[in-house]
Amino acid sequence: MTAIANRYEFVFLFDVTNGNPNGDPDAGNLPRLDPETNHGLVTDVCLKRKVRNFVALEKSDMNGSAPGFNIYVQEKSVLNNQHKQAWEALGIPPDAKDKYKKLPKDEAKARELTAWMCNNFFDIRAFGAVMTMEVNCGQVRGPVQFAFATSVDPVTPLEISITRMAVTNERDLESERTMGRKHIVPYGLYRAHGFISAKLAERTGFSEEDLQLLWRALINMFEHDRSAARGEMAARKLIVFKHEHPMGDAPSHVLFDKVKVERSEGEADTPARSYNDYRVTVDSESIPVGVCVQELL
């Protein structure tokens, strides 16, 4: 596959209604917050997980994943076993002393191992991976990177009491019903920034097909991620900046500043409760030369 030839940045807007977009295990699974501003946070790791899950769904069936679209980081996967596939597929024997712990002394063979992993795993081509473990396949820096998503306005997490009507054991039949807690954000619109490097894509083979798959994942990933905690999450806007030159034609922060997310007129004095409470504008007329803007959603 031929690597992409253009650099990209993108602004991704998504929202949550009465749900928890990204719980913090260090805070009892409360929605993540910036403690100084009370703006909500969603980690880059969380967003990448949803992209991986979407790709796994789209590119797999009862017979397994489509060639080249396996997922490296997935639930209960043993990474060393993933690495061993590369050694065995390429017929590279392990070192008598160090086994698989060190890359082959032949640099060409070492590069083949890393290239095999890139060719077979979508998330390695996209996000990169450090594969220097007991079974060593090197490391590669991925062309696709996400920043943390931050809510446009401060959010107010609520703690909701819930009860469980069923019991686990017969001895508990006459006991009071179990009480629990559920944490939600009544409403929050989150903004995330992303970056795609054409030069790093050359090293992993991240292709135009991969790029279109990434866009589909961002637009549709919440449609396949429903749960009691995330029942109403939706992708709202995907604004993409495409550079003519692979090294880029303008700094990313200049492009991000062209996208404004503001409260709609007459709505600023009340808490936001829907996407319609916001106005999103793109200053297309002042986009630097060599950059075009596309609204994919």
User: Is residue 132 included in any domain, yes or no?
Assistant: no
**278 neighbors 284 (Cβ within 8 angstroms):** no
User: Is residue 258 included in any domain, yes or no?
Assistant: yes
User: Is residue 165 included in any domain, yes or no?
Assistant: no
User: Is residue 269 included in any domain, yes or no?
Assistant: yes
The C-alpha atoms of residue 76 and residue 65 are separated, in whole angstroms, by: 16
b/e per residue 210-219 (b: at least 16 CB within 10 A): bbebbbebbb
User: Is residue 89 included in any domain, yes or no?
Assistant: no
| Domain boundaries, position 229 | 8-64+142-154+183-295
User: Is residue 215 included in any domain, yes or no?
Assistant: yes
Across-strand partners of 99? 95
Tokens of 200: 């790093």
User: Is residue 57 included in any domain, yes or no?
Assistant: yes
The C-alpha atoms of residue 261 and residue 281 are separated, in whole angstroms, by: 7
The C-alpha atoms of residue 234 and residue 13 are separated, in whole angstroms, by: 9
pTM listed for this prediction: 0.89
Tokens of 296: 């994919």
The number of distinct structural domains making up the chain is: 1
224-235 per-position pLDDT tens digit? 888 877 768 999
Tokens of 95: 């070192």
The C-alpha atoms of residue 248 and residue 235 are separated, in whole angstroms, by: 27
169-223 per-position pLDDT tens digit? 777 666 666 667 788 899 999 999 999 999 999 999 999 999 999 999 999 999 9
User: Is residue 167 included in any domain, yes or no?
Assistant: no
Half-sphere exposure of 69 (CA within 13 A, CB side): 21
226-279 per-position pLDDT tens digit? 887 776 899 999 999 999 999 999 999 999 999 999 998 766 778 889 999 999
